Chains A and B, each alone.
Chain A
Amino acid sequence: MDRRVVDALRAIVGPRGLIEPGTRALPYESDGLAIYAQRPELVLLPADTAETAACMKILHDAGVPIVPRGAGTGLAGGATPVAGGVIVGTARMRRVLELDVENRRARVEAGLVNVDLTHACKSHGLYYAPDPSSQQACTLGGNVANNSGGPHCFKHGNTSQHVLGLLIVQHDGTLLDLTAPRLDPLGYDLVGLFVGSEGMFGIATELVVRLVPEAPVVETFLGIFATLEAACDSVSDIIAARLEPSALEILDRLTIEAVEASVFAAGYPREAEAVLLVEVEGSEPEVAGCARAVRAILEQRGALSVHSARDAAARKKLWAGRKGAFGAMGRVAPDLYVADAVVPRTKLRELVLRTVEIARAHKLRLATVFHAGDGNLHPNICYDRRDKDELARVLAAGDEMLELCVQAGGALTGEHGVGLEKQQQMHYLFSDADLRQMCRARDAWDPARRLNPGKLIPVRVCEEMRAGSVPEGA
């Protein structure tokens, strides 16, 4: 990279904010999807919006590709560097700028770790609802870019329902301030469009988010099942009965075994084929009514036992296994391929079983833990990436699972995003015309296509548009 550009950037961010290729840059070579890796030309860690804007201006003038990055916990290669590109990370922007308890909102920097926001407002009886399982590490900026979900998004909605405003550094370093308190957008919904744009529309440096009051009563249920099918059927019944718990999560047998053998052991019986966690929240009568109905469904579906707890410590224990599931799976194999697909909730049982069959056919070990209430499957394949043959089987199985889910009326990703990983599979769901329309929206935000290039939209579609082989108005 041109030394003059590097020096100009260093003058902005200082020595702490700039990492040149070498050992310190190694962690930036991939995100949580380690099968894709690329050396960044440079890693920039600006301290605030002004520094980010100044860096972006220089990179714009120099025509350098940029990959925004939060904590790098993404699972679709979204924050993986691109050849010849620079990483602009938010790791040094972690302040809570304003905690407005009265109006139940907070203004924060994008690099704030998800759970730290809840820690900051907990004493006021408030919390930040979207709770990805990675919430101890992932940043709110990353959550915005991926429109992340979590167990409690079943009731409270994904990140997009909690973002009230954004301060965005645009491709050329100019600022777009969308933080004015407005109930509806004045003009087009730019915030709504930005959320989920996977780092391709700009860098969000500050966020205004909604905080939710803690519910007066919370009750957690743990249903133990002899079959995965029965756990899935219970979920479909709960949805069909129009009950509205706040979370509905399933763990399968391999996950249970891994959890119980780890420090996250939650006392789940190892002979169980599946456990179903259900959380209900609200006023006393709301919780009591919903809890009665949930328990009846679990029992009707043949749960071996149903445990419940209201006390915070006891509930935490029931959740411990779910929260620690991903960490615990490290015991099963060195690598974990976390597939992510969504299906209609009436087809949970059928599709979960089909993913099990696909893994079996490819001689792979599957540990399933997923946001069942939203139909968001995570068939996690345990493997060793040093074994090339196994890696090839993992990718083939992942692809088959996605195709199957799409054919059943589902989609490629419920929360992890498309990134590098699923770019080629976008065709399962979208026509070229659909993808061209996305490409046009991207061109409006980033005409030179320097922000996170090569992600989300199949490169061919954008290239054909640029080359003019698809006439405007076609």
Chain B
Amino acid sequence: MTTALRAPDLVAAALERVVGSAHVHPLELEGGTRVVPLACPAGAEEAQACVQHALEHGLTLLPVGMLSKLGWARAPARLDFAMSLRRLRRVLSYEPGDGTIRVEAGISMAELAHTVNEGGHWLTPDVPCPGGATIGGVIGAGASGFDRLRFGPLRHHVLGLRVVDGHGELTKSGGQLVKNVTGYDLHRLYTGSHGTLCAIVEASLRLFARPEHWVALSYGPLPEPRALTAARTLLALPIRPYALLVRDLGDGSAELCMNLGGREEAVQHERALVIAALGTPARSSEDAHALAQARAWRDEGQAEGRWPDLVLDCLPSRVECEVSELRRKLAETRVDARLTILPGLARIECRSANGRVPSSISSAAPAGLDLMRRLKSALDPRAVFAGGRVHADP
């Protein structure tokens, strides 16, 4: 393959023959320093044709949704075009009586949530800016929502996927069933693979009961260590919050926020337990206000879904130590950063305001890198999907 044939306008012209000229646009990446064609196929077969075109011509592509999570992984080392699945928007099968749904990958999280809410269900993950994110993109990024404390990570609820694989074939794993161990769980591998292994065209998901009632409570401003101690007290209670976070208010103070949901009596019971343990909250809201409040806390803390500069996971018992250690390092290196602490998940997210967090406190290479490389080359031997996203390699 010569460089000339990989020139963006030639690639764009070829893609136009596959998906139609109205569905190929220029896409600016990395602040406009790189422009590649973005092809938007109409369905799974057209998506497959795009991948096959790339295979035939030695091109590299990146599957995307609405691009909201592009910055959640490294920029691809090499890229000839991007392929957005956003035109694949159909609900293929929703059986409210079964509590599962199968959809095309490009449906927006907002539309998907709306559909299942109508059927009395709740869709996890509850992500920021749901109108601007597709389910395929969310799965590709392995993004769990603010409701993770209650339901666990997204990867537990992806029941099956249909993808265009690195050999240009439409293949599936799993199915639309809440329990199923037939074959390897390749969908677990694809979830969080950031488009490096396949293009997701369909997903089946497990649904939960939509909460009848919501309560949001917050305590603070408190000194950060006290907010963390209070969080620890809460986590020992027999309650199952949707979310629990310690928001950084700056100046060493923090706010402990939580969101409870479920059947009304159960929620009021949990609320009473919280108040008995921590006293009257500084702020409290119910129902739709409570859900909106919880989402606002999340969105503000997560800078509208911006991927943190640093994510620290630790054992729950270590959260307080890790926070103080991180604070010390940030002070030493004079990095102005905001922390979002999720004590129930034992995760600390750090977003800096004046530059990146120094690499001395960033995370190390993953275990199993060799195996990841072998998986990448077995499943995508011609590197048709842009690599280098999840780590320097695969």
Contact = CB atoms under 8 A, between A and B. Distances in A.
A135 interface: no
B224 to A, nearest CB: 21
Contact of A176 (B98, B314, B371): B371
Interface in B354-369: 363, 366-369
Interface string A417-440: 110001000100111011111101
Contacts of B313: 181-184
Contact of B192 (A102, A185, A430, A440): A185
Q: Is the interface of B mostly helix, strand, loop or mixed?
A: loop
Nearest to B96: A240
A192 B181 contact: no
26 contacts: A100-B315, A187-B390, A188-B368, A188-B390, A190-B368, A192-B155, A192-B185, A236-B97, A242-B99, A283-B269, A288-B265, A344-B176, A371-B179, A409-B175, A410-B175, A418-B183, A426-B183, A433-B169, A433-B171, A437-B379, A438-B183, A440-B378, A441-B378, A456-B184, A472-B382, A474-B169
B351 interface: no
Given A158-B181, A344-B98, A411-B177, A186 B363 contact: yes
Contacts of A376: 179
A413 B184 CA distance: 12
A75 to B, nearest CB: 12
B184 A197 contact: yes
Nearest to B365: A186
Contacts of B171: 431, 433-434, 436-437
B375 interface: yes
B152 A161 contact: yes
B347 interface: yes
Given A430-B183, A440-B379, A472 B167 contact: yes
Contacts of A375: 98, 177-179
A415 B179 contact: yes
**Of residues A103, A158, A473, which shows the largest number of chain B Cβ atoms within 10 Å of its Cβ?**
A473
Contact of A411 (B175, B188, B262, B374): B175
A185 B96 CA distance: 32
B78 interface: no
Q: Which 10 pairs across A and B sit closest by C-beta, in order of nearness?
A: A192-B188, A242-B209, A186-B366, A285-B265, A187-B366, A374-B179, A444-B374, A240-B97, A433-B169, A444-B378
Given A188-B192, A444-B371, 6 more contacts: A181-B314, A184-B144, A236-B97, A283-B239, A433-B171, A474-B167
B269 A284 contact: yes
A286 B175 contact: no
Contacts of A104: 316
Interface stretch (A8-16, A113-121, A146-154, A251-259): A146-154
B173 interface: yes
Contact of A473 (B168, B176, B179): B168
Given A239-B98, A289-B266, A193 B184 contact: yes
A190 B371 contact: yes
A46 interface: no
B289 interface: no
Nearest to B235: A104
B189 A189 contact: yes
Contacts of B98: 239, 344-346, 375
Contacts, number: 247
Given A196-B185, A197-B184, A415-B181, A285 B266 contact: yes
Interface string A294-333: 0000000000000000000000000000000000000000
B49 interface: no
| Residue from the set B97, B181, B208, B270 with the largest chain A CB neighbour count within 10 Å | B181
Nearest to A374: B179
A195 interface: yes
A213 interface: yes
Contact of A412 (B95, B153, B182): B182
B45 to A, nearest CB: 14
B391 interface: yes
A434 B317 CA distance: 43
Nearest to A149: B179
A417 B55 contact: no
A429 B172 CA distance: 10
A193 B185 contact: yes
Interface in B77-122: 95-100, 120-121
Interface string B137-176: 0000010100000001101100000000101111111011
Nearest to B156: A161
Interface string A459-474: 0000000000000111
Interface string B176-202: 111111111110110111000100000
A184 B368 contact: no
A222 interface: no
B212 to A, nearest CB: 10
A367 interface: no
Contacts of B363: 186
Contact of A193 (B96, B189, B266): B189
B394 interface: yes
Nearest to A440: B378
Nearest to B185: A196
Contacts of A65: none
B390 to A, nearest CB: 5
A192 B269 CA distance: 36
A474 B170 CA distance: 11
B189 A147 contact: no
B180 A414 contact: yes
B368 A178 contact: yes
Contacts of B20: none
B372 A188 contact: yes
A216 B238 contact: yes
A1 interface: no
B263 interface: yes
B19 interface: no
A183 B394 contact: no
B189 A188 contact: yes
A318 to B, nearest CB: 23
B381 interface: yes
A188 B168 CA distance: 21
A286 B212 CA distance: 13
Contacts of A197: 184
B185 A239 contact: no
A215 B239 CA distance: 10
A375 B180 CA distance: 10
A353 to B, nearest CB: 18
B238 A213 contact: yes
A83 B366 CA distance: 37
A139 interface: no
Nearest to A456: B183
Contact of B186 (A177, A240, A429, A441): A441
Contacts of A422: 182
Interface string A157-185: 11011000000001000001110111111
A160 B156 contact: yes
B188 A153 contact: no
Contacts of A215: 238
A457 B186 CA distance: 14
B346 interface: yes
Contact of B270 (A178, A187, A243, A283): A283
B345 interface: yes
Interface in A73-105: 100, 102-104
A438 B186 contact: yes
B177 A189 contact: no
Contacts of B178: 345, 374-375
Given A100-B315, A184-B153, A288-B265, A196 B189 contact: no
